[in-house]
Amino acid sequence: QVQLVESGGGLVQPGGSLRLSCAASGIIFGINDMGWYRQAPGKERELVAAINRGGSTNYADSVKGRFTISRDNAKNTVYLQMNSLKPEDTAVYYCNADVKDWSGENDYWGQGTQVTVSS
């Protein structure tokens, strides 16, 4: 069974920075796309940033220039560096990965990590 474990969330003041990490573990033959999503109270889950195995990225317009997604394929880990954080970035952030495992290609989610931006 593949698991995604996130870390790095917390409380930060506006203008501050946080770095989220998400490590995939289990029997993994390969990982294609990896990404970060977020869900604020009363809102739908939305894509924040995604990265493919080759390193190509895409970002939500609301985070362009402030957030950077990266990955370490050897460690099956994806990161999200968040700078210049705003109160509207407050949400639960979820890691997502498209993983090749024993049963084929499957979509996995992490448990979520809370990010709160407040003074």
Average pLDDT over residues 88-117: 97
What would the 3-class secondary structure string for 79-110 be?
EEEECCCCHHHCEEEEEEEEEEECCEEEEEEC
Contact indicator for 66, 84 with CB cutoff of 8 Å: yes
Q: Which helix (H) or strand (E) holds 70?
A: strand 67-72
Q: How far apart are CA 40 and CA 56, in angstroms?
A: 26
Q: What is the average pLDDT value for the chain, to the nearest integer? A: 97
Q: Does the pLDDT value for residue 1 go beyond 90?
A: no
Q: Average pLDDT, stretch 71-91?
A: 97
